[in-house]
């Protein structure tokens, strides 16, 4: 944070370290990741309810889910503190700068995990709480500890943890996990590689320096672009399954088709540029940012669909 201007009261100056510590704890949770996960949670709850769920249930599920994601992020920061020190992208994380100690981060992660699971269990149901435990454990153990430093497919299987919010949201409303929920899970699962691999190209030097085998760091843009195109096609095809399986309506169908076609066009453009040797970091990052816009539009349609028109089939 910037220096306090001259003339501020002693009380304001004394609060400065406290605010700095709070900011460091927030940074441990990776709030941008939480925002993206919450974009998927509320729409899924609305679709599962076919209307607006009870506000108390929405609040506890959203807060519990955010705390679970924050716990996973904090555990990840603790586990990756050694490689974060050698990567430019992560050199300002709290455990690297010393804003938070290793012990403080670990205790904070455990507190968030326990509180999140308790909140999901009390505010929703036992199945939701169990899925919260699975989400945290998958990200921490499967991805952070077992896969990230061992295989270029780390983000594929580790990314399954990022799909858990839709299962948590569906279970909170229905106390079950239906085929519709699994389709939304699969959409995010297939979305993760074309979302993250372009970013890993940009930060390839960082990952090579840290000896982390992200695909974008160990393979050329041409190889990555092929994978992006394949996963993008699978993702769009999977998204359309919500129409026959989940009785999604015209709003969802049109949005999924148009947004999917738009993202596919961007993916193919990246591939064409890579094959011609004219791919640029700016072009690669367009796919990364485009993937966020695609997912936001898709889940906005998931939220609106129950209120507009009827199902396409039936």
* Same domain, residue pair 100 and 42: yes
Q: Which two tokens stand for residue 43?
A: 């729409």
The count of domains in the chain is 2
Percent of the chain past pLDDT 70, that is, above it, reads 94
Q: What single-letter DSSP state applies at residue 203?
A: T
The DSSP string of 185-207 is HHHHHHHHHHHHHHHHHHTHHHH
Determine if the pTM surpasses 0.85. yes
135 vs 17, residue with greater confidence: 135
Q: Is the residue at 277 inside a domain?
A: yes
- The mean-pLDDT minimum among 10-19, 46-55, 96-105 falls in 10-19
> Domain span at residue 293?
178-314
pLDDT at site 12: 43
Nearest to 95 by CA among 24, 178, 37, 39: 24
* Same domain, residue pair 194 and 109: no
pLDDT at site 309: 64
Give the pLDDT confidence of 258-285 residue by residue, as tens digits. Answer: 999 999 999 999 999 999 988 888 889 9
Q: E strand or H helix at 206, and its extent?
A: helix 204-210
pLDDT at site 91: 86
- Rounded to an integer, what distance in angstroms lies between the CA atom of residue 30 and that of residue 53? 27
Res 32 pLDDT > 50: yes
CATH of the domain at 225: 1.20.120.1780
Give the pLDDT confidence of 169-207 residue by residue, as tens digits. Answer: 999 999 999 999 999 999 999 999 999 999 888 888 888
Q: Is the residue at 15 inside a domain?
A: no
Res 7 pLDDT > 90: no
Q: Is the residue at 128 inside a domain?
A: yes
């Amino acid at each position: 944070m910037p220096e306090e201007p001259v003339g501020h009261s002693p009380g304001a100056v004394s609060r400065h370290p406290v605010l700095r510590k709070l900011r460091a704890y927030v940074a441990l949770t990776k709030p941008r990741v939480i925002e993206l996960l919450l974009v998927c949670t509320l729409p899924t709850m609305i679709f599962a309810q076919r209307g607006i769920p009870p506000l108390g249930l929405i609040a506890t599920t959203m807060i519990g889910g955010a705390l679970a994601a924050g716990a996973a992020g904090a555990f990840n920061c603790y586990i990756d503190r050694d490689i974060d020190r050698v990567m430019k992208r992560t050199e300002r994380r709290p455990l690297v700068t010393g804003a938070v100690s290793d012990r403080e981060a670990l205790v904070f992660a455990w507190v968030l995990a326990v509180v999140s699971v308790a909140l999901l269990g009390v505010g929703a149901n036992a199945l939701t709480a169990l899925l919260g435990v699975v989400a945290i454990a998958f990200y921490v153990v499967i991805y952070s500890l077992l896969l990230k430093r061992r295989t270029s497919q780390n983000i594929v299987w580790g990314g399954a943890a990022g799909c858990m919010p839709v299962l948590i949201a569906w279970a909170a409303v229905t106390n079950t996990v239906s085929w519709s929920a699994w389709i939304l899970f699969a959409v995010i699962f297939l979305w993760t590689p074309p979302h993250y691999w372009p970013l890993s190209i940009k930060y390839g030097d960082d990952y090579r320096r840290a000896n982390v085998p992200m695909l974008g760091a160990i393979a050329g843009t041409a190889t990555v672009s092929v994978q992006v195109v394949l996963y993008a096609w699978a993702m769009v095809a999977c998204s359309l399954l919500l129409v026959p399986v989940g009785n999604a309506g015209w709003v969802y169908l049109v949005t999924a088709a148009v947004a999917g076609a738009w993202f596919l066009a961007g993916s193919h453009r990246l591939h064409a540029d890579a094959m011609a040797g004219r791919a640029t970091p700016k072009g690669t990052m367009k796919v990364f940012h485009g993937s966020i816009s695609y997912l936001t539009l898709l889940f906005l349609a998931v939220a609106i669909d129950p209120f507009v028109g009827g199902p396409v089939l039936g």
